[in-house]
Structures are given as C-alpha cells and as structure tokens.
Structure 1
Amino acid sequence: MKNKSYILAALLGAASLSGCSVDKFAEINTDPATVTKGNIVYLATEGMLKFEPSEYTFWFYNAKYFSQFIQASVPSGGFKSDFNIMGERGGQGSQTLEVQRIYREVENQLKQMSAEDAAKYAQIKSMFYPMMVYLGIFDTDVYGDMPYTEAALAAYTNPMLLTPKYDSMSDLYDVWMSQLNEALDNFTKQHEQTQITMGSQDFIYKGDISKWARFTNSLKLKLAVRYLNIDKDKAFKIAKEVVSSP
C-alpha cells in the first residue's frame, strides 16, 4: 500500500510538471526587475534624452577648431601648418547615432506588433525623424558623408551588419527630406487608429504634436538652404511647401 502511495505521488508530480509549459515556467521564474521588452513610449523619451546637439563638451572642444577654420580668431603668432589638425572633439560626427540606436529598437518593437497596433505609434515613431535629421545636418556640415541608412543595424541583422555604408551628403538630403515629409504627414493627418500619446514623457514639447510639425517644417527649410547650390528649383519648391503647410 505504501509503495502504491509513492507511485501515485510520483504520477501526480509528473502530471503537474507536464501541465506547466517551458514558456510559462520561464515567465514565472523571471526577475520582475529585468526588462525583456522595450516600452515604446519610454524608448522615445530615451531618444529625446540622447538628442543633445550642443552639449558642453562640443563647445569646450570644437569651438576652438571652428574659430580657427573660419579665421574668427587668430593667435598672436599667426597660424602654423598644423592649424587644421583636430584633436579631441565634443561628440560631433557621431551624435546622430546616439538617437538612431534608440530608433532602431523602436522599429524592432513595431515589427513585432500587428499592423493595427503598430499604427497607433505612428506619431511617436515620427518624432525620431526630426531629431535624427537635425543631428545629421549638424554632423555632415562638418564631416561630410556618414553612415545613416545602414547605421545601428548590427543587433537586428544576421549576419551582423558591422560595416555600414557611408551615404553621400546629396543622398542623405533626399533621405532626410523623405523622412521629414513622412513625419509631417503623421503629425498633421487624421489617423484611422487612435494615436498613443506621450504626455509628460515628451519633455520637449509636452506631447504637442503641432509643435513637432513646426519643428519638422523648420528642418525642411534648413535642407532647402543646402539644396540651393545643388538644385535651386527644388529648394524653392520646398520653401513653398513649408509656407503652405498646415
């Protein structure tokens, strides 16, 4: 009788284990403090924190180079042959990447959602475009061509993309204009899906989408100025679009 009790207990234990899936068991035993899935609203806030085009180190390191390059200041002994050699710099040239890394994770999270759910984040996703374009203009004005369309994709590609191509400045202007137009469309149109709002998590404009639209339009004008020496007609066309934008 005693042996039968042991056998019955063993069978009940086996049944209870077989009824608990591996996934559920893993979920139960996951540290609740461990973040395993990104929250898009919080990721957007992190992207805004990374959006720092004029941090102190930029002025501390880079200002002296620019003042020399444009001859706004001249040392008493005059310039020497090494006046155009740069040393430490304050982040310019890589600032776009700081925001872009967060944007890639937002993209990744949205791809895992249904199309209906992902559509609710159209405006939040679009907030990244003006931030990346602003920093991109800032970086390319000094350093020229840069990785952008393939940048920050290593974690999301197989095999890992570790050597992204350098996009030419003219190509970047076209890419950025396309992104700004997409953002502007998402900021101004009526969406079929109710948009997720950020509220105070958007510490730049406090969730005011109309201000994001104005920011985006201002960047279109910045690009228009850069198109002037390449395609004057296109530059004026962009300016007219901004003037007539809602």
Structure 2
Amino acid sequence: MKTIYKIGLTCTALIGLTITGCKKEKFVELNTNPQLIDVITPEQQFMNAVASIQGDRFEAYYDNFRGIMPWMQMLTPLAGNSVTFISESGSLRNVRYGIFYPAVGGNLTDVEQLIRKMSAEEQAKRVHEVEIAKIVKAYYAFYVSDISGSIPYTDAFMVRYGGTETPKYNTQPELFDILDAQLKSAVTTLSATQPVAQTSFGKNDLFFQGDVAKWIKVANSTRLRIAMRLMKRDAAKMRTKVLDILAAPGGLIDNANESWIFRANANYADGGDWSAGNLRAPRPIVDFMYTNSDPRIRFFYQENLFSQTNFDLAKAQGKVPASSNFDPRRYYGVATSPDASAAPDFAKFLNNITITVRNASGQSVPQVMDTLSLIQPRLFAAGENGGTGMNAFPLITYPDVCFMRAELAARGVTSESAESWYNKGVEASIRLYDDLANKAKIIDRTGAANYQAVTATEISNYLAKTPVKYDAAKGLDQIISQAYLNFFKQPNEAWAIFKRTGMPNTTTVVALERIIASGTEQSIPRRAALSIPSITNLNYQNITDAYKAMQADPDFGQGPSDITGRVWWDKK
C-alpha cells in the first residue's frame, strides 16, 4: 500500500504541466484500492482522473485506427480496406466505457467525496475544485453515452461511500438533461464570488492549471456540443438550450489558448498501439486538400517517396520507362471503397518499385518507392521512432466551437453570421494543426524533420478557393465539410457529425466514396456493440432492463450487438 502511494506522489512531483516519466497505467492504481483514499488528496485524485482520460492505448488502436477512422474514410490500412473492414470483429471495442468505469468516473467522484470529509472551513475553500471535477465528469459521461446509449450515472461510483453495487441506468434523454443541468450549475457557481479564497488544482490540473475562467468556457462549450446532439430528436429543445448557452456567463471557448486539449510529452504515446505508422492517407480527403491547396495536408499526411531525385534515379536504373515524366504531386491517397482499391485502374498505385540509393554513410542501399501517402505518425504519437515532441489530445477546441456556431447560424437557430464563424473556424483549424504538427515534431518518410509553418497567404488563398469560399447557397455543406476535416484528431466527432447531419457524403463539398465491398454497398456503423452480461453479474437485472428499454426504440437495431443500430439521439 505504501509503495503505491509513493508511486502516486512521484508521478505528481514529476508531472509538471504534462505527463513525463510515469507510465499512464500507474495513475489508475489508486482507484482500485479503497484504503488508499485516506492518504491521497483531492488534487492528486483529480490529476489521476485527467491522466486516465486519454490513457488507454487500445482506444487509439482499436476504436480509432481500426474502427471509426476507416468507417469515416479518414484512413485505410496499407493495402486499402478489406471487404470485411466494417464487420470485422473487434474493430470497435468501446474502450471509453472501460476508462470511465471505474477510473475516470471513480476518481472524479473521489474528489468530491474527499472534500466532503473535510471540515466546513476546508470545504468552503474547495468549491471551485468540486465544480471543475463535475465538469470533467459530465463531459466524459456524455462521451461514453454518445455511442452506448443508456449508462449508469447518478447511482454509479459510490460503492466505497456506502452506495449501491447495482446502479440503475440513466436513459440517454435523462442523462443529457442531467449533464446539462450539472454543467449549467457549475458555471453559475464558478462565476459567483465565493466568501473565502479558493484553493486551486494548480499543476494537478493538466489542462488549465486551475484557471477558473477557462473551465467556465469549457462547461458552456460542452453544453453546446450536447445540445446539438438533440437536433434530430427535438429541434425546438435544442434551440432553447442553445440560446440559453449563448447567454450564459463566461461565454464559450473563444480563442486558441482556451481550447480544451490534453498535452503530454512524447513517452505518453510513443508508438506501439498508439502508432499511426503504416496507415494510409484516404483518397477522398487527399484529393480535396491537394486540389484546393489546404495547408493542413502536410500536417495530416506524408509525401510519397517519388521526389525528383528518386525519380531520376529510378529512370537511370531502368525501374521506370525512359519516356516517363516526373509527377510533382507528392500526395496520393488510397481508394476507401474496398472494390475501388482492388480495381485494376487503382492497382498500379499499390505496385511499388525498389531503387538503389546512397545512405548518409555513402553506402548503396535499397529504397522501396511508394506512390501513396501515409498518415503523419507523429501527429498521433509524438514518440514514434524516438520522437521527442509533444502529444496533443483535443477534447473541445476553438475551431470546434466556431463550426458549431457557424452551423447554428446557417440553420437559422441564431442570428449570428454563419460566414464569419465559418471563416474563423477554417483559419483556427489550420492554425491549430500548424501548432500540433510543430510541437509533435513531424517527419517525412525518411524520418527527417518536416515541419513547415503555415503562412497567412496560404490561409487566405485557401479561403478564396471556390469550394472553400463561403457561399450561403451551400453554406451548411461547407461548414460540415470543414468541421469534418477539423476533426481529424477527434474521430468520434467526425463520426457524430456524419450521424447527425448525413454529411459529408458522396455529393458534398468534401465528397466521400460509396463504400462497395464485393459489389454490395455497405452501411456505416452508428454505435458501439453492447456486451451481454453474464447471469452472475451483480448488476445483471439493471443492465438487461436498460437494454430492453433501448430496444423498444425501433432505431436501436436488432439487438445490443447491432452496430448499425442507433442510440437515442441518432434518430432516423
């Protein structure tokens, strides 16, 4: 017990503003031993919760790289998508559920309960800490419910404090109301003047180091994201909530410095299951970005290996016909439809050649020449191949908020300028990825440093391109398409905006491919498969009751495991 406590303190001492030497698994150990609650502070337990949010590498490996991102045509495997890539078992494991129960939800509950055990004087000093913990807990509960539907929440996480071992499930409509009320209450409390000076999470707050004003903006911005999920279920209710949120004290995230992003040093995500290496760039996005000179293309993807020098060597070595002309385009993506990537007219892109080049030592070595682009690996794992840059995991960013406000204006929900918020969103997104790529120390295919800063001219030229320049007649399409590109590092939100709006699709500004496998068009999954509980599960009755209630909605699908079914907010 003492040993684990010392580990916790050591990590606290080393962590500073980012995760450094301690492995992320250490942060959840305290939650598994209830006796340790007596020796840990609320501030340390808040840090443990925050570190756990992004701490499971399987979410990157299974849920993002092999589930959501291929489904949303954001990447493919090396040889393109297989004919079974949508139905493959295990492609989406709903890892977030296991992160929330018990680590994130439990640790954040501990923060509040530990403070409640203190004297009235000490509790009065920690009102802000309680509310900030509630904001994070509400956000992550929403994130879990987003693809799972009903989840235990109001009865959950209280076993060590005399609560039930069999928590009832909150339905998604109940939960959305509960979370909205909690976030709104947090904003009210954090905006009010407290009678005594407040303590701060300080460096234990790995997001904002206890900056209350920024947490107020995060709470309001989270409310806005949740409210927009109501669009298909209850547009009138969504509008009422949106207008209430826009009038809330403290406002929304309003600049890049207020973006809610978890940042950690290179060894937090250093390859392995975090790795985006050997994952291909997708043709639809690459074609749009290249054609329109989107500056983000060099941050998302790596150029192929057909430089002028390598092309000349290939010619000299007889690897390509002497009559061949150099192609200056260095970004090509894989067809995302399995049938398209297997078609003869595309197969040539997958046929690599090998040339001989001289390495740094002057030795002749083989070099495989690959026509297609890869995902920029260090954008997702800064520690890839010994990298020393900074990892970033966005939750809600300034461009996210810009695009939400642009969409609401384009739909007539608000009287704001859709064009103004759209233009702000595009520029903010480009600058966000410029910053992420710089800090991640991105590399080219040879492993050499490859960051090139964005210029103001590039941004203005991009905004002037016909498909990008705002046109009210297709404004909603443009807004959704740009939001989708912005969510490259937030695949759940790309998936959500597709489910909520039906865009992007085959006819939108960013035109995706029809996903055809063995001649049959495929249906994109819309939720996580829910595991069937064992009869010996202590909470068996509540789980099965929750499943039955969800199945009463015909949109839910054929059963808990039907990934083409829908959660409540995703109404047909």
The TM-score range, normalised by the shorter chain, is 0.7 to 0.9
Q: Which residue of 2 aligns with 1:176?
A: 179
Q: Which residue of 2 aligns with 1:162?
A: 165
Deviation at 1:184, TM superposition (A): 0.8
Q: Which residue of 1 aligns with 2:93?
A: 89
The alignment's C-alpha RMSD in Å is 2.9
Q: Which residue of 1 aligns with 2:59?
A: 58
Once residues 82 and 113 of structure 2 are traced to their aligned partners in structure 1, the CA distance between those partners, rounded to angstroms, is 55
Once residues 63 and 81 of structure 2 are traced to their aligned partners in structure 1, the CA distance between those partners, rounded to angstroms, is 20
Question: Which one has a larger percent helix, Structure 1 or Structure 2?
Answer: 1
TM norm structure 1? 0.73
Deviation at 1:114, TM superposition (A): 3.7
Letter in 1 for 2:156: A
Find 1:239's aligned residue among 239, 242, 249: 242
Helix, strand or coil at the partner of 1:227: coil
Gaps (5+ residues) in structure 1? 1-31
Helix, strand or coil at the partner of 1:174: helix
Once residues 203 and 95 of structure 2 are traced to their aligned partners in structure 1, the CA distance between those partners, rounded to angstroms, is 28
TM norm structure 2? 0.34
Q: Which residue of 1 aligns with 2:134?
A: 129
* Structure with greater Cα Rg: 1
Q: Which residue of 2 aligns with 1:208?
A: 211
Once residues 198 and 122 of structure 2 are traced to their aligned partners in structure 1, the CA distance between those partners, rounded to angstroms, is 10
- How many residues get paired? 211
Question: Which one has a larger percent strand, Structure 1 or Structure 2?
Answer: 2
Q: Is the 8 A contact 2:125 2:198 kept in 1?
A: yes
Q: 1:77 to 1:56 in 2, by over 3 A?
A: closer
Once residues 92 and 153 of structure 1 are traced to their aligned partners in structure 2, the CA distance between those partners, rounded to angstroms, is 20
Once residues 117 and 155 of structure 1 are traced to their aligned partners in structure 2, the CA distance between those partners, rounded to angstroms, is 22
More divergent stretch after superposition (222-231 vs 114-123): 114-123
Per-residue CA deviation, residues 26-62 of structure 1 (Å, 9 max, x unaligned), is xxxxxx9796343222222222222328x54212111
Q: 1:87 to 1:154 in 2, by over 3 A?
A: farther
More divergent stretch after superposition (34-43 vs 139-148): 34-43
Q: Is the 8 A contact 2:145 2:151 kept in 1?
A: yes
Q: Is the 8 A contact 2:152 2:168 kept in 1?
A: yes
Q: Is the 8 A contact 1:123 1:187 kept in 2?
A: yes
Does 1:118 find its partner at 2:130?
Answer: no
Gaps (5+ residues) in structure 2? 7-34, 251-572
Q: Which residue of 2 aligns with 1:186?
A: 189
Helix, strand or coil at the partner of 2:96: coil
Per-residue CA deviation, residues 93-145 of structure 1 (Å, 9 max, x unaligned), is 23233221112222322332344431221111111222122222221222211
Q: Is the 8 A contact 2:62 2:90 kept in 1?
A: no
More divergent stretch after superposition (127-136 vs 147-156): 127-136
Helix, strand or coil at the partner of 1:103: helix
Once residues 120 and 246 of structure 2 are traced to their aligned partners in structure 1, the CA distance between those partners, rounded to angstroms, is 33
Does 1:40 find its partner at 2:42?
Answer: yes
Deviation at 1:168, TM superposition (A): 0.8
Once residues 164 and 206 of structure 1 are traced to their aligned partners in structure 2, the CA distance between those partners, rounded to angstroms, is 33
More divergent stretch after superposition (102-111 vs 143-152): 102-111
Q: Is the 8 A contact 1:47 1:128 kept in 2?
A: no
Work out the percentage of aligned pairs sharing the same amino acid.
20
Deviation at 1:71, TM superposition (A): 7.2
Deviation at 1:191, TM superposition (A): 0.9
Letter in 2 for 1:129: K
